Structure formats: structure tokens, C-alpha cells
Amino acid sequence: MKKIGIIAKEGTNGPEKIIEGLVPWLKEKGFEPLVEAGPAKALNIQGYSRVDIAKAADLIVTLGGDGTILSVARLVCARGVPILGINMGGLGFITEAGAEQLYEAVEKGLSDTCPYEERMMLGARIKRYGELIAEYTVLNDVVVNKGSTSRIIDIEAYVNGAHISTFRADGLIASTPTGSTAYCLSAGGPVLHPAVPGIVLTPICSHSLAMRPIVLPQEAEIEIIPVTRNTEVFLTMDGQVGITLKDQDVVRITKSPYITKLLTPLKRDYFQVLREKLRWGSR
């Protein structure tokens, strides 16, 4: 029996009603639903933590937006659990279907022959005085950013040991193709198709017009070192988790050995999504 995890965005209105119908529907088809603790409590059924769902589920249905998928992707990437995103948020750029298409998408997603996309992920390792202090895997991006009251910061960047430049900017984004349509795009970076194997480095509000985004090969080993005496600097992963950096901390970014599997039962057209969600190419 396949175990189907159901994870909902916190604070979202309406997932309980959807889950209330989805749970018996899955059971009738011979699947075991594992519902996240929050909505499960509201429905008075057994609930599970996200960590426990990530460990046990064979497939996860997310009810929320892109942020929900990002948080789940980091939990399940090591096991390669496929994710089916149902949009109940705002943009929903990487979610596969809307709530009105839920049952059609889930039914097709449950098939062993359902197509999926493999999305590249990044690994980030942070060293302080040569000691590893943190390690993360991300689907969208790794961002070095100044604090709310900080001035422009200096950020040294290296690729495969070669010095690229010292960026004077509000920050620096290292993005996957998936993340190229997120913060990277807002900062003036290019859109990379998900099938393009590359990493985008994009400065945030650079002090110099000569500091432009650059696309690097996926095999690149990137080191980012903030030069920030008495300046507050943060490192954030997928815009959701992070730590405070100190002067001369080394952030090493490489392609992760893990991938995110996004189920695509409805076979959305990527360029149609660009046009509809981001108004790409609009006049």
C-alpha cells in the first residue's frame, strides 16, 4: 500500500475541507493518507509531523503555494520522494494544479507512469575559521544579504578557486534554474529553463553598473566570503531558513547530489506558465 503524505500551508483557509474529502477518496483507492498534524487536529483524525511524513511517504501532495513545495523539497530530497503541488496560495509558479483540478491531478499522479520533472538543487556549506557550522540543501536559492540597517556590503566571490570579483552590493544570490524565476528575477537576473544545467550569480542592488548577473556551469564550485566588519549579514536558504554570517565566513555552494521530483500529471506548458504567472512577454 502506498503512503500518501498530505501537507498544507500554515494559515491557509480551506485545506481542511479539501483534506476531509481527499482522505476517504484515497482510502477507497487503497492508499494510506498521512495528514499533517495541524489540519488533522482540526478534522479530529490522526496526524503526523512533516518530518515523519517525509520519512514514510511514497508521494506527497502539498496544499499551498510555491513556498510549501520549497519547504517539503528540502525535507524529502534525500529519499527522492515525488511531490505534487496543488496551488492554494498566490503565484503558484511551480505548483502543478489549482484546487479545482485536485482529483484529476492526484489520480494521474498516483499512477506509476505519471511523468515528473527533475529539478536541480544546490548544496551550501558554511565554514567559520575552517570549521563546518551549517549545511543546507535548497531548491531555489542561497542568498547573502545585508541586515535591515546595514550599508552596502563587500562580498568576495570565487569559482573553482578563481577570483571573480568583490561585489559591492546589498547582497548576492546563487540560484538554480527553478529559482531563476524567484528572487533572482526580481534582482535583474535571467530566466533559466528548468532543463538548463546552470547556476546563476546575481548581485542585489550593485553599487556598480558593471556588476551584472552571470550564468555558471552546474559543476562550478562557488565560494562566497562576506567582508563585513561590524556589519550585519544574513545567509538565507529558499527565503525560509538561515543564519547570521560573520566576517570572513566561507559559504561554499555546489550542485547537490539530490534532486526534487515534481510530478507533472497535467503536463503544463512552461512558457504558458511564464506568460500567465509572470506576464512574461506582455506588452
Q: What tens digit of pLDDT does each residue of 142-159 get?
A: 999 987 766 789 999 999
pLDDT value of position 230? 74
CB–CB of 217/255 below 8 Å?
Answer: no
pLDDT value of position 4? 97
Lowest mean pLDDT among 89-98, 119-128, 160-169: 89-98
The per-residue pLDDT of the chain, averaged, comes to 93
Q: Where in the chain is the domain with CATH 3.40.50.10330?
A: 3-115+264-278
pLDDT value of position 13? 64
Within 10 A of 66 (CB to CB), how many other CB atoms are there? 25
pLDDT value of position 1? 59
Q: What tens digit of pLDDT does each residue of 16-36 get?
A: 999 999 999 999 999 999 999
pLDDT value of position 12? 65
CB–CB of 154/227 below 8 Å?
Answer: yes
Q: Where in the chain is the domain with CATH 2.60.200.30?
A: 121-257
CB–CB of 232/249 below 8 Å?
Answer: no
Q: Is 60 helix (H, G, I), strand (E, B) or coil?
A: strand
Stretch 38-50: mean pLDDT: 93
Q: Strand 116-128 and strand 250-263: pairing? A: antiparallel
CB–CB of 75/48 below 8 Å?
Answer: no
Report the CATH architecture of 121-257: Sandwich (2.60)
Phi, psi of 260 (to 5 degrees): -105, 130
**Model confidence pTM above 0.85:** yes
Q: Which residue has the cell 512533516?
A: 50
Q: How far is CA 160 from CA 41, 59, 172, in A?
A: 50, 37, 18
Cα 283 to Cα 168: distance, rounded to the nearest angstrom: 34
pLDDT value of position 256? 98
Q: Strand 3-8 and strand 59-64: pairing? A: parallel
Cα 199 to Cα 122: distance, rounded to the nearest angstrom: 9
How deeply is 159 buried, as exposed, middle or buried, from its count of CB atoms within 10 A (0-12, 13-18, 19+)?
middle
Rounded to 5°, the CA angle 130-127-240 comes to 170
Cα 72 to Cα 89: distance, rounded to the nearest angstrom: 15
Q: What tens digit of pLDDT does each residue of 188-197 get?
A: 999 999 999 9
Q: Mind telling me the catalytic residues?
A: 66
CB–CB of 277/93 below 8 Å?
Answer: yes
Q: What tens digit of pLDDT does each residue of 72-108 get?
A: 999 999 999 999 999 986 778 899 998 899 999 999 9
**CATH of region 3-115+264-278, choose from 3.40.50.1370, 3.40.50.720, 3.90.930.12, 3.40.50.10330:** 3.40.50.10330
pLDDT value of position 92? 83
